[in-house]
């Protein structure tokens, strides 16, 4: 009999130290590859959340007044510690999310791009200065941090998304509270240790573990000035509406139903290889995963489906500890059952099951939360799965007869996170990129996620609020601009009262 895993008692990280939970409520943290509970995470009470916010509020003024170059220096040390501890971080990501080691390393590497951009905060914080705008008055604008800000991160990227949400916020002078997903808290807690080692003052970085109780306090507490959220669309809408109601700056990114349009002139072998990774990587638990392939023309569709079937049938589903694993489990048994129900429903509504991930031995016999790669053909707009985001490896084929039809179907969807087209026709690519109403667009790029120094966000139901994740917009989101007009009078200079509105004629 296999030896059971010791269950670890986790903490919060508040004011520079690990703090035990006091609410008496705990959540289970599972290893998705085995189904075993590996840790208990405390779920904060309102009182605990308020204590964390108060500690951050107290620490903020000194950090705000710290020279930006000094702040950037600490971020640089933090970046170096991330790379020095890469193996440990990868192990944590794999253990609590089920990702393969290769995928975890890729996630961490992309997360480092956000840290790299934050190191450049001194440049991004530069203001503007105008001399003698009128009456010997000089005018300048300068960016100031907001104060206490909060990030609410998802389970599917235990480190990339938190780094993207928080690195710039720290660098520009805010005190940051991270409410990590209660399904993957261990990575966030380890990151706290690295911030501490890098020299970040106590109270500037907080990990508050919890559920809706903690989230609602962050949304409603007047000491929290901004909220960054990544997760599902219904929750993103709630976060935005509740945070905005309480006067906060909010960026809430939701889900995606991402399409890959395939023109008849595309190299279908290349398309198939691109689709496989973009569709099934990380067990399809990415907001930018390709959900739907849209081949233009029946001949294109028949050919690509035949190529995909052979490749999908050869994929290996298993634990990150096994050699040659292409992707691992979904995050929970509830997620597994939800994916299976979506496949069952699509089949009842007339979809053709080309590859059936429900039938694999590992799906039936493992305690892990596995579901194999599934491909459904002849999906139509009337089927539930056409619009609904399935956060697991059930992917669709929607056959279209023209590029215009593909653009129309995509633009009619509520979710508009990412989209891509595969073609060698420049005219088709230009038409597609011009007319498509989606936030991130790829041309012969399977997952059009911008690099860390470009802004990331979708349109419509995929984003609520005007901020972005990644990119220079982070510096704007986490700062407020103050504009100063100044004139220095000499002792002998005569002044008189005027009732006219100030202008440059004065």
pLDDT in tens, 173-194: 999 999 999 999 999 999 999 9
Residue 506 has pLDDT above 80, yes or no: no
The rounded mean pLDDT for the chain is 94
Per-residue pLDDT, 63: 98
94 assigned to active site: no
Structure tokens at 71: 């702040």
Residues, the chain: 506
Mean pLDDT of 96-108: 96
DSSP string covering 58-115: HHHHHHHTS-HHHHHHHHHHHHHHHHHTHHHHHHHHHHHH---HHHHHHHHHHHHHHH
Predicted confidence (pLDDT) per residue in 51-79, tens digit: 999 999 999 999 999 999 999 999 999 99
As to burial, measured by CB atoms within 10 angstroms (0-12 exposed, 13-18 middle, 19+ buried), residue 11 is middle
What tokens does 173 get? 């002078």
Q: Which domains does the chain have, with CATH numbers?
A: 46-254+462-483 (3.40.605.10), 258-443 (3.40.309.10)
User: What is the three-class DSSP state of 393?
Assistant: coil
Only one residue has tokens 């972005």, namely 468
pLDDT at 2 over 70: no
Q: How far apart are alpha carbons 51 and 469 in whole angstroms?
A: 28
Residue-level pLDDT at 505:
61
Strands (E), 255-385: 258-262, 290-295, 352-355, 374-377
- What pLDDT does residue 380 have? 97
Q: Which of 350-354, 356-360, 499-503 has the lowest mean pLDDT?
A: 499-503
CA dist 396 and 339 (Å) reads 13
The model's pTM is: 0.93
> Is the model's pLDDT at 493 over the cut of 90?
no
pLDDT at residue number 489 = 84
The pLDDT tens digits for 362-418 are 999 999 999 999 999 999 999 999 999 999 999 999 999 999 999 999 999 998 889
- What is the average pLDDT across 262-287? 96
What pLDDT, in 10s, does the model give residues 119-161? 999 999 998 999 998 888 999 999 999 999 999 999 999 999 9
Could you say which of 90, 186, 219, 287 is catalytic? Answer: 287
Q: Is the pLDDT of residue 4 over 80?
A: no
Residue 443 pLDDT greater than 80, yes or no: yes
Cα(136)–Cα(214) distance, integer angstroms = 52
For the beta carbon of residue 52, count every other beta carbon within 10 angstroms. 29
């Amino acid at each position: 009999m296999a030896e059971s895993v010791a269950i670890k008692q986790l903490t919060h990280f508040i004011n520079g130290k690990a703090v035990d939970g006091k609410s008496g409520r705990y959540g289970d943290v599972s290893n998705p590859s085995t189904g075993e509970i590996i840790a208990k995470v405390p779920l904060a009470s309102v009182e605990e959340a308020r204590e964390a916010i108060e500690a951050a509020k107290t620490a903020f003024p000194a950090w705000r007044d710290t020279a930006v170059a000094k702040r950037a220096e600490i971020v640089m040390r933090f970046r170096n510690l991330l790379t020095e501890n890469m193996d440990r971080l990868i192990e944590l990501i794999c253990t609590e999310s089920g990702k393969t080691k290769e995928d975890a390393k890729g996630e961490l590497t992309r997360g480092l791009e956000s840290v790299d951009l934050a190191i450049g905060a001194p440049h991004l914080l530069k203001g503007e200065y105008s001399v003698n705008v009128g009456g010997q008055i000089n005018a300048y604008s300068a960016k100031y941090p907001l104060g206490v800000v909060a990030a609410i991160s998802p389970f599917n990227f235990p480190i990339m998304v938190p780094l993207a949400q928080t690195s710039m916020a720290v660098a520009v002078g805010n005190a940051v509270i991270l409410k990590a997903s209660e399904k993957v808290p261990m990575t966030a807690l380890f990151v706290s240790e690295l911030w501490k080692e890098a020299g970040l003052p106590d109270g500037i970085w907080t990990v508050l573990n919890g559920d809706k109780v903690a989230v609602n306090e962050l949304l409603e507490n007047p000491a929290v000035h901004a909220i960054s959220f990544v997760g599902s669309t219904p929750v993103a809408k709630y976060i935005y509406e509740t945070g905005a109601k309480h006067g906060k700056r909010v960026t809430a990114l939701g889900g995606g139903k991402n399409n890959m349009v395939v023109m008849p002139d595309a190299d279908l072998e290349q398309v198939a290889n691109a689709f496989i990774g973009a569709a099934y990587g990380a067990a399809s638990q990415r907001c930018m995963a390709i959900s739907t392939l849209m081949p233009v023309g029946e001949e294109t569709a028949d050919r690509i489906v035949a190529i995909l079937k052979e490749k999908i049938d050869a994929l290996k589903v298993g634990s990150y500890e096994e050699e040659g694993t292409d992707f691992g489990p979904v995050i929970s048994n509830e997620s597994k059952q939800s994916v299976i129900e979506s496949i069952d429903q699509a089949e009842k509504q007339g979809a053709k099951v080309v590859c059936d991930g429900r039938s694999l031995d590992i799906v039936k016999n493992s305690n892990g939360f596995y579901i194999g790669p599934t491909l459904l053909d002849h999906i139509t707009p009337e089927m539930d799965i056409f619009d609904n985001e399935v956060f697991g490896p059930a992917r669709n084929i929607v056959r279209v007869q023209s590029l215009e039809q593909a653009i129309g179907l995509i633009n009619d969807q509520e979710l508009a996170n990412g989209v891509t087209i595969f073609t060698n026709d420049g005219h088709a690519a230009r038409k597609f990129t011009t007319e498509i109403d989606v936030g991130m667009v790829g041309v012969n790029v399977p997952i059009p996620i911008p690099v860390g120094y470009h802004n990331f966000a979708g349109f419509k139901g995929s984003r609520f609020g005007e901020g972005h994740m990644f990119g220079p917009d982070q510096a704007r989101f986490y700062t407020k601009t103050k504009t100063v007009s100044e004139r220095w009078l000499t002792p002998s200079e005569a002044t008189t009262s005027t009732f006219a509105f100030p202008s440059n004629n004065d």
